[in-house]
Amino acid sequence: MALHRKHILSGFLGLVVTGSFAAGVFEPELKAQGSLPDTIFSLRPEGGKELDPARTYNKVLDILNEKYVGDNLPSARKLTYTAIRGLLNAADDPYTRFLDPDEFRQLKEENDGEFDGIGATLEPQPTKEGYIKVLRPVPGGPAETAGVKRGDMITKIDGKPTTGLDVDEAVKLIRGKAGTIVKLSIKRSGQAALVEKAITRRPVELPILEYRMLEGGVGYISLLQFNEVSDRKIELAVRDLEAKGMKALVFDLRGNPGGLLTSAIDISSRFVKPGSDVVWIEEAQESDRKKTNGRVRYLGERWPFTILVNRTSASASEIVAGAVKDNKTGTVIGATTFGKGLVQTLMPLDDGSAVLITTAKYLTPSRGDINRSKTQRGGVVPDIEVEVTEGQFLKGEDPQLKKALEHLHQKIGYTKTGKNTTGAPKNP
């Protein structure tokens, strides 16, 4: 605890210094010009050889304002954002980063799973002609209501041609405040004339979870991210699947980039026995904390389950997979996960921007470090490894899911009768 106090003190001292250093402390030494420096100044050393980051940053800000001859000197705020990015970059942790107000807003939207827009997913790459292609309008969303169809190509957004824009830029243009209108010019294959659509933006919810019943009474739940409502949505999906006679479960975490730590621990508690360890959390200046499942809601005693993972199953997904693997309560199937064993805390700043700082590491219950680094690949290695080849991927085949099904069918003693009972896709 004494350590904390020390840090706070140094923080305040830093603030005091900030106000007082700006006075001229330069001493001209020698003048030179051209490709050699014109003038060499020395800063009068004030205590040691170490640089003080805040003082140095302030000094550079001053020198630039006073002397830099170039046009377009960014504003002090913009330069500060850049300085902060540089500061966090020096920390050499890829997850510690700065979010300017725009980026912060976008992150919030993605974390909340809700934002104002038209409700359509887009192809990640523009078409050859430079158009933005609609992959799928969200059912019931503004785009679908306005008659936007799958495969439509957006050629203009509010009159601005999409050629030359990347999808991110197009998304920025399409999103906006609820109630406002965005005009899209749409080219449809087989039609010469452009279709004009005026769409009123509305709050759109990103899907969090998809579930359906697969062959032989095997339930399938795919979780797309860990947020405040994820656990509740799983509860509802499980209830519905059980009502339909679920005898086993495939819990798909492939492509799940993670989310909230609390959500990961909540969801893990469904897949490990009460009293079992879920994850170890190591924080700066704190002794390790072990998170143990304190809740009695283990699903594994009702029926067997498998967890599906791949390279893009990250952070929170890896906590769940690691907990299941180490506690041997279910079978982890797929490819080695991303390898992110670090926890960031989002800290909003006073001007609407924010920083994400890596404040904790986590280890799996058996104290395995799954973080990828310069020295190790990291990731949770599945109990049964199944890769998807590019050819299979492009054809939409899914050998990982197939393997999971086979595995569970064997466990519940189901043999194929030739009758296909795969249910239709369903949205909660």
Partner 1 sequence: MRRREQFMWISAMVLCLAPFAFFAGLGMRGLYRSFATERLDTGAGDGLTRLASANPRVPDTDTRPQFLYMDVLNKLKLWSVEGVPNDTRLAHGSVEAMLNSLDDPNTRLVSPTEAKALRDATLGQFHGLGAVLTIQRYNERAVAETAKANLPGVLGTKPKPENPGIKTVTVVSVLPGSPAETAGLQAGDRITEIDGHWVAPTHVSYRILTQIIDPAGIQDGRPRSPEELPEQPITPDPDREKFRKEQEEVSKRWQTATDLSTALTDLNGGMQGEHEITFQRGVPAKTQKVKVTFGVTRPELVSSRKINETTGYLRVLLFNPETVKQAGEALGKLQADGAKSLVVDLRGNPGGSMDAARQFAGLLIGNGKFMVVKERDAARALTERVVTAQGPAKFKPATLSVLVDRGTAGSAELVAAALRDNLGTPLVGGSTFGDGTEQELAILQDGSGISITRARTLTAKRLDFDGKGLRVDVPATGDPVEDAVKALAAPAPAAPASAVKGARNSGA
Q: Which of residues 24, 70, 413, 418 is near partner 1 by CB under 8 A?
A: 70
Residue 158 falls in the annotated catalytic set: no
Which of 326, 212, 322 minimizes the C-alpha distance to 258? 322
Write down the catalytic residue from 222, 326, 353, 403.
326
Contact status, residue 252 vs residue 312, Cβ threshold 8 Å = no
Q: Say if residue 79 is exposed, middle or buried (CB neighbours under 10 Å; 0-12, 13-18, 19+).
A: middle
Q: Which of residues 20, 23, 34, 243 is near partner 1 by CB under 8 A?
A: 34
d(CA 264, CA 281): 13
3-state secondary structure of 356: strand
Which of 219, 212, 231 minimizes the C-alpha distance to 304? 219
Interaction between residue 181 and partner 1 (CB under 8 A): no
Contact status, residue 131 vs residue 155, Cβ threshold 8 Å = yes
Residues near 291 by beta carbon (within 8 Å), at least 6 away in sequence: 265, 277, 278, 279, 280, 281
Write down the catalytic residue from 247, 340, 353, 403.
340
Q: Which of residues 49, 287, 296, 413 is near partner 1 by CB under 8 A?
A: 49
Sign of the C-alpha dihedral, residues 394, 139, 405, 378? Answer: positive
Residue 340 falls in the annotated catalytic set: yes
Q: Say if residue 388 is exposed, middle or buried (CB neighbours under 10 Å; 0-12, 13-18, 19+).
A: middle
Interaction between residue 284 and partner 1 (CB under 8 A): yes
d(CA 13, CA 308): 51
Segment 71 to 90, residues that bind partner 1, using CB under 8 A: 72-74, 76-77, 79-80, 82-90
Q: Which is nearer to partner 1, 248 or 264 (CB)?
A: 264
d(CA 244, CA 288): 43
Interaction between residue 249 and partner 1 (CB under 8 A): no
Segment 404 to 423, residues that bind partner 1, using CB under 8 A: none
Q: Which of residues 48, 159, 245, 418 is near partner 1 by CB under 8 A?
A: 48
Segment 152 to 171, residues that bind partner 1, using CB under 8 A: 167-168, 171
Measured at the CA of 273, the angle between CA 275 and CA 404, to 5 degrees, comes to 150
Site pattern 316..355 for partner 1 (x: CB under 8 A): x------------------x--x-x-xxxxxxxxxxxx-x
Interaction between residue 306 and partner 1 (CB under 8 A): no
Reading the block at residue 186, the tokens are 């749409």
Q: Which is nearer to partner 1, 196 or 288 (CB)?
A: 288
Beta partners for 210? 222
In one letter, which amino acid is 343?
A: V
The H or E element that residue 2 is part of is helix 2-20
Segment 202 to 231, residues that bind partner 1, using CB under 8 A: 204, 206, 222, 224, 226, 228
d(CA 11, CA 254): 42
Interaction between residue 298 and partner 1 (CB under 8 A): no
Rounded least distance, CB 301 to partner 1, Å: 28
Q: Which is nearer to partner 1, 125 or 328 (CB)?
A: 125
Interaction between residue 1 and partner 1 (CB under 8 A): yes
Segment lying near partner 1 (by CB under 8 A), choices 60-68, 155-163, 292-300, 413-421: 60-68
Q: Which of residues 130, 136, 202, 240 is near partner 1 by CB under 8 A?
A: 136
Rounded least distance, CB 418 to partner 1, Å: 21
The H or E element that residue 332 is part of is strand 331-334
d(CA 139, CA 249): 26
Interaction between residue 45 and partner 1 (CB under 8 A): yes
Rounded least distance, CB 331 to partner 1, Å: 18
Segment 363 to 392, residues that bind partner 1, using CB under 8 A: 372, 374, 387-388, 390-392
Write down the catalytic residue from 315, 325, 353, 403.
315
Contact status, residue 142 vs residue 120, Cβ threshold 8 Å = no
Interaction between residue 20 and partner 1 (CB under 8 A): no
Rounded least distance, CB 218 to partner 1, Å: 17
Rounded least distance, CB 424 to partner 1, Å: 11
Reading the block at residue 136, the tokens are 């799928």
Q: Which is nearer to partner 1, 301 or 390 (CB)?
A: 390
Residue 222 falls in the annotated catalytic set: no
Interaction between residue 111 and partner 1 (CB under 8 A): yes
Q: Which residues are catalytic?
A: 315, 326, 340
